[in-house]
Amino acid sequence: MKVQVCIIGGGPSGLLLSQLLHLQGIDTILLEKYSREHVLSRIRAGVIEHGFAKLMREAQCGERMDREGEIHHGFHIAHDSRLDYVDLHKHSGGNSVIVYGQTELTRDLYEARDKLGGNVVHNAEDVTPHDIASDAPYVTYRVGDKTVRVDCEFVIGADGFHGVSRKSIPTDVLREHEKIYPFGWLGILSRTKPVSPELIYVKHERGFALCSLRSQVLSRYYIQVPLSDKPEDWSDDAFWAELKRRLPEQVAAQLITGPSIEKSIAPLRSFVAEPMRYGRLFLAGDAAHIVPPTGARGLNSAASDIYYLYHALIDHYRKGDDSGLDGYSQKALARVWKAQRFSWWMTMLLHRFPDRLSYDERLQETEMSYLFSSETAQRLVAENYVGLPF
Ligand code: FAS
Ligand code: PHB
């Protein structure tokens, strides 16, 4: 089989790029390790930047997001028994974010691929890129006991943090930068009315918490827990009781609790792999970078990778211009590192660090008091949270 672009990974990054390229007449195949049901069973991101939303619309996948997603003009930070508000709309020159679950966004992308007759292969095992340093790369994969070879011109590694693509770059070429945080986020999903119409980030001496949502009848809550904890260590009652201890009294009193329909612990790490290109292999999304979810940058960092690759491949095929491809890694990393900075900053601001020094604590307090005493500081947060320009 021969295609122009072979995409490894059927998460939001791979799906969005395959849909955008297909609409431009560029021939792709997408190879996903698991079944569609498995991919859609994951509960992940919830906040969509305006740049990502624009790309979804350009990919003819934004209709349900615009209908069912919620526009949020700001978020709250609860700290020191106060509830302060970051007005994103005011401080970002009129931009906002859309709260719409990654699961639904991925479902919309799959349905759009089906509608266009996109070439999407599920349960593709042992996906392996070959000859990526040559001008004639190919990818092999297995379905059952049948091995298939896909000859292509470009390979896009959109296979997430644990995928095969990044590991295909020679170790003497790849540089990895990582920071592991000494705690995780225990998250639950519950069919309850959200405690607040907009997100509440909580800095508390017992630890971080976050009140988020997927709709007016589906709430998403998180609390910071030690890395040694497991989801089964936390009954629903224990989770709700701990969340209430961390919320301001007037918010805790409004909290509607209910059975969890999903409960999981996500470890927090900051990670960047450089370069994001090796020969004809291009990394995108979590395959190249991971952020702690505190700044809601994870999924959104993938958007600019996809935007750059989409335009670079169009320029290659339409004009024979490879400047976009040759400049991809440097351009993508410049925005990735800004998302890394913001995610690190929000994480340092809001979490309780087990081994913190008194100096660190006073610095955290100073950051928070500076944030809410300076419109400049709030503009800085707002421009990062709604999404820096591509
Ligand atoms: P993904 O990991 O989503 O997709 C990669 C795909 O490649 C997967 O479907 C995988 O099955 C497939 N794959 C892997 N190896 C393969 C192989 N060898 N062959 C073929 N396919 C292969 N971000 C936020 O903004 N907010 C959050 O709250 C948040 N919570 C998260 C919680 C968890 C537990 C995780 C893991 C991530 C979270 N993220 C969050 C980040 C997340 O949303 C990612 O940024 C987003 O999924 C990135 O999308 P992709 O780059 O498509 O990677
Ligand atoms: C979520 O709703 O899952 C969510 C929202 C904002 C974040 C992290 C997670 O910063």
Per-residue pLDDT of 205-242, as tens digits, reads 999 999 999 999 999 999 999 999 999 999 999 999 99
Pocket test for ligand 1, best of 16, 102, 386 (most atoms within 8 A of CB): 102
Task: Choose one of 35, 109, 165, 286 to mutate for the ligand 1 pocket test, by most ligand atoms within 8 angstroms of C-beta.
Answer: 286
Q: What is the pLDDT along the chain (390 residues), one digit of tens a residue?
A: 999 999 999 999 999 999 999 999 999 999 999 999 999 999 999 999 999 999 999 999 999 999 999 999 999 999 998 999 999 999 999 999 999 999 999 999 999 999 999 999 999 999 999 999 999 999 999 999 999 999 999 999 999 999 999 999 999 999 999 999 999 999 999 999 999 999 999 999 999 999 999 999 999 999 999 999 999 999 999 999 999 999 999 999 999 999 999 999 999 999 999 999 999 999 999 999 999 999 999 999 999 999 999 999 999 999 999 999 999 999 999 999 999 999 999 999 999 999 999 999 999 999 999 999 999 999 999 999 999 999
pLDDT per position as a tens digit, 155-204: 999 999 999 999 999 999 999 999 999 999 999 999 999 999 999 999 99
* Residue of minimum CA distance from atom 4 in ligand 2: 46
Ligand 1 atom 4 nearest Cα: 11
- Measured in Å, residue 224 CA sits from the centre of ligand 2 at 13
Mean pLDDT of the chain: 98
Nearest to 124 by CA among 142, 148, 149: 142
Minimum-distance ligand 2 atom for the alpha carbon of 295: 10
Q: What is the pLDDT of residue 118?
A: 98
From 212, 262, 350, 384, mutation site for ligand 2 pocket: most ligand atoms within 8 A of C-beta: 212
The residues, ordered by sequence, that sit 6+ positions from 366 with a Cβ below 8 Å of its Cβ are none
Q: Which ligand is nearest to the CA of 125?
A: 1
Q: Whose CA is nearest to atom 7 of ligand 2?
A: 296
> For residue 30, what are the β-bridge partners?
7, 120
Q: Where are the beta strands (DSSP E) in the chain?
A: 5-8, 28-31, 47-48, 70-72, 74-79, 82-87, 97-99, 120-121, 125-130, 138-143, 146-151, 154-157, 175-190, 200-203, 209-215, 218-225, 260-274, 277-278, 281-283, 289-290
pTM exceeds 0.85: yes
- In CATH terms, the superfamily for domain 5-71+101-178+269-352 is FAD/NAD(P)-binding domain (3.50.50.60)
Does residue 11 line the site of ligand 1, with CB under 6 A?
A: yes
Cα distance from N-terminal residue to C-terminal residue, the chain: 34
CA of 39 relative to ligand 1 center, distance in Å: 9
Q: Which ligand is nearest to the CA of 12?
A: 1
Specify the pLDDT at position 366: 98
Is the minimum distance from the CB of 39 to ligand 1 under 6 angstroms? Answer: yes
